[in-house]
């Protein structure tokens, strides 16, 4: 289990898709924290400001049932995870072990 101080309180994991990989991440958390949950080392030591200034954590996503044509850009440090998110692109700074690294 991860250091609970890093994550906002959660009771269950939600299912999202990242670059075609289905993963389970903590509900009620920002996406960048969820990425850290999945890949502690690469995200903790990544080049992120965590407050939206650097834009290094940018992602492109849509909701389940939509297509890549519906993709919206977002900053993962400012965007809450939600069940069924489909993340189709990650900034080159976001390295997730077992997904794009």
92 has pLDDT over 70: yes
Domain assignment of residue 24, yes or no: yes
Which pLDDT belongs to residue 1?
Answer: 46
Neighbouring residues of 74: CB distance < 8 A, sequence distance ≥ 6: 31, 58, 59, 60, 61
Q: What is the pLDDT of residue 4?
A: 61
Number of structural domains found in the chain: 1
Can you give the residue range of the structural domain that contains 74? Answer: 14-90
Q: What is the DSSP letter of 50?
A: S
Residue 86 lies in a domain: yes
- Residue 69 inside a domain? The answer is yes
Question: CA 2 to CA 5: how far, in whole Å?
Answer: 9
23: domain CATH number?
Answer: 3.10.20.30
- Taking only the tens place, the pLDDT of each residue in 4-26 is 678 999 999 999 999 999 999 99
């Amino acid at each position: 289990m991860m250091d609970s101080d890093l994550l906002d309180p959660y009771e269950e994991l939600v299912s999202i898709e990242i670059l075609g990989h289905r993963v389970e991440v903590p509900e009620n958390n920002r996406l960048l924290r969820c990425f850290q949950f999945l890949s502690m080392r690469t995200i903790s030591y990544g080049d992120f400001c965590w407050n939206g200034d650097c834009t290094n954590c940018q992602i492109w996503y849509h909701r389940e049932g939509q297509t890549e044509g519906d993709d919206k850009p977002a900053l993962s440090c400012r965007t809450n995870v939600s069940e069924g998110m489909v993340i189709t692109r990650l900034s080159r700074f976001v390295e997730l072990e077992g997904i794009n690294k």
